[in-house]
Amino acid sequence: MSGGENTIELTGLTKSFPGVRAVDRLSFAVRRGEIFGLVGPDGAGKTTTMRMLAGVLPPDEGNATVAGYDLRRDAERAKHHISYMPQRFGLYEELTVDENIRFYADLFGVPRREREERSVELLQAAGMAEFRSRLAGKLSGGMKQKLGLVCALIHTPEVLLLDEPTNGVDPVSRRDFWRILYTLLDQGVTILTTTAYLDEAERCHRVALLHEGRMLFCDTPANLKGSLPGAVLSIVCAEPRPLRDLLAGMEGISTVMIVGDGLHLVVSDPQRMIPELRTRIAAAGISCDAIEQVPPSIEDLFVEAVQREQAGPANQGGGR
């Protein structure tokens, strides 16, 4: 495939389960050599979308192609070009690191010499070269996830589907995990990953923000943050919950959310709001360390978009 060609394409992809539409007319495309993120909370439709793209769950409506194969007609052929790492990747805990790698290499028909060269390269990138003889069941959670990624990559797939691969993983292992993903781009691997960690969206080339099965936005992280309707103010305080209740619904503020040890507010006029906020907070007797304007984050945009959608009809489709 050429560098500008789409490796994954979805058009109107839809899937329902009893009482719920998990994925609702989802459309987007992922280019070759791109890291594309599906971002959203539990119940957003991320895992259902991944299972359909992996060919293990048929869609009710719409179409999808992966690596040039129509999943409705050629799902089995497409699987030869895909590596799918679900949330609970099937490592065999009674086998060693090397034995797990060998098992997955055999599944994909990887020749022994290629397997050895590839496993050395991947284990070094994962910082696990010294653990080849350790039982998988004795690895930490982060190391298990990295081993799962090594097994998923042993046959050099064209498309890598990762479903919340860093969920519950320590920060160091998350950093190592993402470093490995970036090394795959030079090999032309296309990566589609899901995450509930909105900060991880910053690491993707493009992201789609999902809510209740529908796409709110789809663009680069920089463009998404630039599209926020308003400015973001950060308030550092010891009691964020009472302060949130105090400021919710205040004129000029569209969103109030707790972030770390304070609040983020989306406001229409930051210069006017800062002195008004100081006056209201002081009158309420709440201690406040600082109020300042800060750059918007993906989380700010997502919360703002969800609140606007819940307030009324919103037609915020995403481009490709």
Residue 320: pLDDT over 70: no
110-114, 262-266, 313-317: least confidently modelled range = 313-317
DSSP string spanning 226-262? HT-SSEEEEEEES-HHHHHHHHTT-TTEEEEEEETTE
Question: Structure tokens of 224?
Answer: 């998404």
Strand partners, 21: 16
Instruction: Name residues whose C-beta falls within 8 Å of residue 161's C-beta, 6 or more positions apart in sequence.
Output: 50, 53, 54, 82, 83, 84, 85, 192, 193
Q: Which sequence spans correspond to the domains of the chain?
A: 6-224, 229-295
Instruction: Name residues whose C-beta falls within 8 Å of residue 220's C-beta, 6 or more positions apart in sequence.
Output: 205, 206, 207
Amino acid 154 reads: I
Nearest alpha-carbon partner for 167 in 200, 207, 203: 200
Helix, strand, coil shares, percent, the chain, to 5: 40, 30, 30
Confidence of residue 312 (pLDDT cuts 50, 70, 90): low
- CA dihedral sign, ordered 181, 185, 220, 39: negative
Q: Quick: pLDDT tens for 118-176.
A: 999 999 888 899 999 999 999 988 889 899 999 999 988 999 999 998 887 788 888 88
The C-alpha atoms of residue 74 and residue 81 are separated, in whole angstroms, by: 12
Q: Quick: pLDDT tens for 186-232.
A: 888 999 999 888 888 899 999 999 999 999 999 999 999 999 989 99
b/e sequence 209-241, b meaning 16+ C-beta within 10 Å: bbbbbbbbbbbebeebbeebebbbbbbbbeebe
Amino acid 64 reads: A
Q: What is residue 128's DSSP assignment?
A: -
Tell me if 150 sits within 8 A of 123, measured CB to CB. yes
CATH topology of domain 6-224: Rossmann fold (3.40.50)
The C-alpha atoms of residue 32 and residue 204 are separated, in whole angstroms, by: 14
The end-to-end CA distance of the chain, in Å, is 18
Average pLDDT along the chain: 90
Residue 311: pLDDT over 80: no
CATH topology of domain 229-295: Alpha-Beta Plaits (3.30.70)
Rounded mean pLDDT of 278-301? 92
Radius of gyration of the chain (CA): 22
Q: Quick: pLDDT tens for 30-89.
A: 999 999 999 988 899 999 999 999 999 999 999 999 999 999 999 999 988 999 998 877
